[in-house]
Amino acid sequence: MTTPRPAAVIVLAAGEGTRMKSATPKVLHSIGGRTLLGHALAAARGVDPLHLAVVVRHGRDLVAAHIAEVDPDAVIAEQDDVKGTGRATECALYALPADLAGTVLVTCGDVPLLTAETLRGLLQAHAASGSAATVITATLPDPFGYGRIIRAADGSVAGIVEQKDATEAQREITEVNSGLYAFDVAVLRAALAEVGTDNVQGEKYLTDVLGIAGEKGLRVSAHLIRDLWQTEGVNDRVQLSRLGAELNRRIVEGWMRAGVTVIDPATTWIDADVRLGRDVIIHQQTQIHGVSIVGDDVVLGPDTTLTDVSIGDGAAVIRTHGSLSVIGAGALVGPFSYLRPGTELGAKGKIGTFVETKNAQIGVGSKVPHLTYVGDATIGEHSNIGASSVFVNYDGVSKTHTTIGSHCRTGSDNMFVAPVTVGDGAYTGAGTVVRRSVPPGALAINVAPQRNLLGWVHQKRAGTASAKAAMAATSALAASEQSPSVADDPANVTEGNATA
């Protein structure tokens, strides 16, 4: 069945959310890598409305700024001092074109598991029944706190009564209002003009529209859904966590059905905007956040957290924390690597154990195997950076860049004091502090000759375990005719007042 295109979707996001006990507006709390409002906007856009309006009030500036970021085409409507969902909807209609005609959906900004598919089902049911208003309903074993659906004899909806206004008999009803509706816009405008605030909470209820429409002889229908999670809103942090866990369970299960192997779904977290290729393997304790994009045949984890990271086919990322980085096809990262923003690792490259990178472009086949910091640097292709090297990019005032060419071999314990360039094919010796650029094919060394100060331990650390061990070893050497004397080595000198 073809889904009719709605004239508008109105998302109600004006509530304060006092039970969250937070300085952050409720709808800006997040699960699955999106705010609650972000989920609501994604569902609304999924039905391709002609207009999308969001009603704001509490934390207006913060909420409006977020809307402008995630859906800049949405219309922002401000609720005035009159309370209630009916007034909020009325304020949205004021912000939409006056000649708006057709069907309007009204949804909530704090119902994050609602899907576009369910909204399409609502639209189809609304159109098929020829109703003036249709409400999504659910049957709950414990309906406390929800508005109850009052059915007419023919099965249509006679009205909705809120918990605080319900009689004892009405509170026994288990079919509840989800707060999600489809309305004929002309009926909605006219009915809202008649809705008052004569109720326990002194609010202008949107639910009263259904009763007014029914009194005028117009059909009001209920669209019952079985997936109760899609009707559940967030009112406190317990519910936030609960819905977050359920959303993640659904996302992880969806990816497994799409061809991803997840070793331990209970400890794997995947955000809603992540994209995974075929035959990806995700090990336990792995979190993939933001808009990360993972290619085919990639191995992730265990113990890995990635945010906004792009990974090429066939790469492996093990026990790594990374963000805003690019990992090439067939590359290897980890274990115990830290990829900070701006890291780009080429195909078949390596960032190894206890390596930290930041704003670093590392070419195809190049390796930074272990115990190294690479910051503000470019490394060419097929180069190898020795262990325990540091790219010294900060002089206390500004940060500068280091360039290592292609096919370079740098020694262990090197310091590259930026700005400096090491040419293609160049080598550097172990322990070198590179302060000047190295020409292509050159060897850079600046190590001073080693000196051995004989007898220093006996003189300066007499009576220690080291002195006793040295004395024993010296005696053993002296007794062996086959052992060369250390005194024959010109690097060994005797200085009675030598210091370390």
- The residues carrying an active-site annotation are 370
Helix (H, G, I), strand (E, B) or coil at 160: strand
Query: Do the strands 409-410 and 75-78 form a parallel or antiparallel pair, or are they unpaired?
Result: unpaired
Entry field: residues in the chain: 500
At a CB cut-off of 8 Å and minimum separation 6, what does 394 contact?
375
Whose CA is closest to 419, among 383, 380, 384, 376? 376
Question: C-alpha 39: how far from its chain's center?
Answer: 14
Helix (H, G, I), strand (E, B) or coil at 423: coil
CA angle 342, 346, 349 (to 5 degrees): 115
Q: How far apart are the first and last CA of the chain?
A: 87
Buried b (16+ CB within 10 A) or exposed e, 47-59: bebebbbbbbbbb
The dihedral region occupied by 84, where left means phi > 0, alpha psi between -120 and 50, and beta the remainder, is left
The residue behind tokens 């005032």 is 397
CA distances from 426 to 345, 371, 379, 384 (A): 21, 21, 12, 11
Helix (H, G, I), strand (E, B) or coil at 293: strand
Whose CA is closest to 354, among 337, 332, 342? 337
Q: Please give the Cα distance from 49 to 240 (Å, whole number).
A: 28
Whose CA is closest to 42, among 130, 113, 142, 123? 113
Question: C-alpha 369: how far from its chain's center?
Answer: 28
Question: Contact at 8 Å (CB) between 181 and 133?
Answer: yes
Count CB neighbours of 360 within 10 A: 26
Structure tokens at 118: 């369910």
| Eight-class DSSP state of 6 | P
The residue behind tokens 């004239």 is 7
Q: Please give the Cα distance from 41 to 30 (Å, whole number).
A: 13
Residue 240 identity: L
CA distances from 17 to 14, 59, 235, 286 (A): 9, 11, 6, 31
H-assigned helices in 216-281:
237-257
